[in-house]
Structure 1
Amino acid sequence: MERALGMKSGVLHNKLNEACESHKLTAIDLIALYHATEGDETLIDGMLMECGLTAMAIPKAERAPSLPHQAIDLNAKVASIGQRALELTSRGRITRSERNTLVSVATSAMGSIAILIHDIEARFQAVPTVACASDILMQTMTM
């Protein structure tokens, strides 16, 4: 891994060792490690957990055509996660694959929440009155 990051032997080990004062892991190192490990976010997640925070991947899927559609789609995702979690926990044990799938779907839903929040903020901070009026008009037309 050190070779892939362009580091001398032992440097990465020292950067990951809290007791080592001569080398410290930087944000740039974390980003390089993330890319060198093909998207393994374990170190970033661990760092954020130490701060009481979490991160989520933003899905690259197409967005729903409107905020109400986004909210309905998100609600369906969350409901399916709950249903699947109930099914799996009633069995008592789940496989690693089932766990990973459930976590992946939940993470995707969290990303959808982030996109929805972003879209809501962007829409109502830009031109609040016009945005509200256009939403009301669009909803009335679809009824």
Structure 2
Amino acid sequence: MSVTNQVLGKNSTLLQVPFLNLMANIVQRAGSVMVRVGGNSQESAHLVAMGEILNGRVLSKNLTGVTGTTQTPPLDFTPDLLYMMRNISELVNVHWFLGIPWWVEFTTTPFDLAIVPAATSILGPYLLGLQAGNEPDMYNLHGHRP
């Protein structure tokens, strides 16, 4: 999730052409593409209101808050990230799996569902599923996640 601005685009109107070309080539051969947006950064990702991140960007990383074995920065992202994904889907036949945080931050409540209503309404039929937790089967082995 933390590299979406480098891979997918800066925002919903400035998409990465190399990514679009790659997806179009795969779609031409396979019919459709499934892409997962998530990873280690989904665990500390927070959906914020449009306009809270400067310069029209879809995400902001807190590089001073880096933690864990992967040194993944906490990040904020706006609904424009989801609109960017939707726009990509409307240009080429891409469908998405979206990662959500395993825990609500600073609580023992599982699954931060704040992103779900925005993701389902914006991505609509292009959203294949939501994935809670990144590599939860590994949590116990390295002891760095709840």
Question: For the superposition of Structure 1 and Structure 2, which TM-score range results when normalised by the shorter chain?
Answer: under 0.3
| Structure with the higher helix share, 1 or 2 | 1
TM-score normalised to structure 2 length: 0.23
Higher relative contact order (CA 8 A, sep 6+): 2
- Which structure has the larger Rg? 1
TM-score normalised to structure 1 length: 0.23
| Structure with the higher strand share, 1 or 2 | 2
